[in-house]
Amino acid sequence: MDMRQRASGLLLRGGKVLLADGDLAQVDIIVEDGLIADIGHGMRAPGARPIDATGCLVLPGIVDIHGDAFERNIMPRPGTMLPLGLAMLESDRQLASNGITTAYHGVTVSWEPGLRCVQQSLSVVAALDEIKDQALIDNRIHIRWENYAIDELPAVYGLMDAAKKPLLAFNDHTTPGIAGERKPSKYRASAEKAMISVDDYLELLRQRAARSAEVAPATEAVAIHAANKGITMLSHDDSSVAMRSAYRKMGVTVAEFPMNWETVEDAVAAGDWVVLGAPNVVRGGSHNGSISAEEAIGRRQCQILASDYYYPALLQAALMLVERGTSTISEAWQLISMNPARAAGLHDRGAISPGHRADLVVLPDGRTRAAMVICGGRVVYGEG
């Protein structure tokens, strides 16, 4: 069976459906033409494929606002590159099996060579376009522009013109490197991704330092260009209130992985979206010593979770938050569906409501893996 083929319609019965108002109700769902056509009791849909969801939760498809686990499919070992089409198709399958129906792939536009060079990122975008007819989910682009990549502005502007409106994140991993604030292991990891020696990487870093005065004007220019196109902007790893405030003044509404409580509190008070990593929840803490995502959620200071570097973490984090009593299922699922969709400007998904995209996760009660995933009205994982 071609998993991408859409039946004439679907009729899901017997499941406990998480409705847009946060209630769980045992109702039927009719799916037609890729959309949720109707919700209610005793629904009839002649010719539709029946799906028995008895004993299952029926939840909105997961929206991943930031994920770069695809990089491991491209370079599974340092310096070992695989064909991009194969890597991105494999990533697409991994996403579908984990209930992620909309994924923003974090493609980096950097001054560094290797895995995150501008040409590589452009090639990843081209590979996604090439596999679109085979893809199971809605694959999109999250542009991670390194602020010191000042020679790559034409590429950044070009990516903003993509057919599907992308996200744009401002990244600055260069300033801490120039200041010598990174651990030796971080320099080694960056050199491995760049496919050069550590000494050569440090020399490139010194060359970037000589152009520091060009960074602020370039950042402002990119922000203006994105704002004019209505593109949602994120700032990555905000380390201070001053940094978050400066980005906010440029129209950057999403604080992605803020590094300390002061910055988180400032973002929340200003009405910004705060994104933290789902692996942080699953592991019980940050891998780099940053703030606790679960604590932030408990304090109502985090509205969105992202897969970051591990796709399975999104679904697992939501279930763990419920199991530990930190959140209700409705609250936990909003972190990975409705809220990221709203932050990204995707108002046609993230909730189970008539007229919305039929992106659904059928999860057996008490289980931690989806039995079925439906994306745009197509069964893309599981057979029911």
Residues 195-209: pLDDT tens digits? 899 999 999 999 999
Predicted pLDDT at 384: 52
End-to-end Cα, the chain, rounded Å: 13
Predicted pLDDT at 318: 98
Q: Is the predicted pLDDT of residue 9 greater than 50, yes or no?
A: yes
Predicted pLDDT at 3: 46
Q: Which helix (H) or strand (E) holds 270?
A: none
Instruction: Look up the pTM and report it.
Output: 0.93
Answer whether 362's CB lies under 8 Å from 371's CB.
yes
Kindly indicate the confidence band of residue 343, based on its pLDDT and cuts at 50, 70 and 90.
very high
32 shares a domain with 52: yes
Q: Which helix (H) or strand (E) holds 168?
A: strand 167-171
45 shares a domain with 69: no
| Domain assignment present for 137 | yes
360 shares a domain with 239: no
202 shares a domain with 219: yes
Q: What distance in Å separates the CA atoms of residue 337 and residue 64, rounded to the nearest whole number?
A: 8
The residue count for the chain:
384
| Domain assignment present for 1 | no
338 shares a domain with 363: no
32 shares a domain with 87: no
| Domain assignment present for 134 | yes
Structure tokens at 3: 């998993």
Q: What distance in Å separates the CA atoms of residue 88 and residue 316, rounded to the nearest whole number?
A: 23
127 shares a domain with 219: yes
Alpha-carbon separation of residue 24 from 16, 51, 259, 352 (angstroms)? 6, 18, 35, 11
Q: Is the predicted pLDDT of residue 230 greater than 60, yes or no?
A: yes
240 shares a domain with 336: yes
Residues 122-154: pLDDT tens digits? 999 999 999 999 999 999 999 999 999 999 999
112 shares a domain with 50: no
147 shares a domain with 136: yes
Residues facing 139 on adjacent strands: 103
| Domain assignment present for 286 | yes
128 shares a domain with 21: no
| Domain assignment present for 230 | yes
Domain extent for 312: 61-343
Q: What is the crossing angle of helices 118-130 and 153-160, to 10°?
A: 20
Phi, psi dihedrals of residue 80, rounded to the nearest 5° = -105, 105
Predicted pLDDT at 324: 96
Residues 305-333: pLDDT tens digits? 999 999 999 999 999 999 999 999 999 99
pLDDT average, residue stretch 50-55:
96
| Domain assignment present for 4 | no
pLDDT average, residue stretch 5-17:
83
**CATH label of the domain that carries residue 226:** 3.20.20.140
* Number of domains forming the structure of the chain: 2
Q: What is the 3-state secondary structure (H, E, C) of 53-91?
A: CCCEEEEECEEEEEECCHHHHHCCECCECCCHHHHHHHH
Answer whether 139's CB lies under 8 Å from 106's CB.
no
14 shares a domain with 67: no
